[in-house]
A = this chain, B = another copy of it.
Amino acid sequence: MARIAIDMDGVMADTTQQYINWYAERYGVQVDKATLYGQPETSGFPHGKEVIRGFLYEPGFFRTKPVIKDSQEVIKALYDKHEVFIVSAAMEFPNSLPEKLEWLEEFYPFIGWQNIVFCGSKTIVQADYMIDDHVKNLQPFKGEALMFTAPHNVNITDFKRVNSWEEVGALLL
């Protein structure tokens, strides 16, 4: 049994798709996800980063994020076999805390409150595996870092990469 720390945004929740959805609804322009590959998060939209980043402070943004494909089934199986912690750097956006808890309860009802961590820096987290889409979280991690592919990280080559939850399952189940 291993301890696995799983990130939420960009790993369980499709943050990029949520930016695209909210942008389309707000400004009437459907941005093609493929055009965002290799660009920093919140870049690549007709409006500047500050507009896209502004969504993060609006009620409902975190509560209604789409679930990433296969994450529910694979995390359930991981949860049954390993010690799974959901570790989200949520403190930067205090309004996201209750929304993230409700979102987890809706889509991953099997996850107990004992296994949820909302933090700022993830340097304090001790686990065997960390599945995350951000260099800043994976870099200081002492265990095995797994970079979950997201549009903003496709050009980073410093970490072992998992491209889907199917790949995570093949590795850890």
- Nearest-CB distance from A165 to chain B (Å)? 22
Which A residues form the contact surface with B (CB < 8 A)? 3, 5, 85, 87, 91-92, 94, 97-98, 101, 112-121, 124-127
Task: Report how many copies the assembly holds.
Answer: 2
Separation of A117 and B97 alpha carbons in the complex (Å): 12
Separation of A5 and B126 alpha carbons in the complex (Å): 13
Known: A94-B101, A101-B94, A125-B126. Contact between A119 and B117, CB under 8 A? Answer: yes
- Nearest-CB distance from A49 to chain B (Å)? 20
Which residues from B are CB-within-8-Å of A119?
Answer: 116-119
- Given pairs A5-B124, A97-B97, A97-B98, 5 additional interface contacts (CB within 8 A): A94-B101, A97-B101, A97-B118, A114-B120, A117-B119
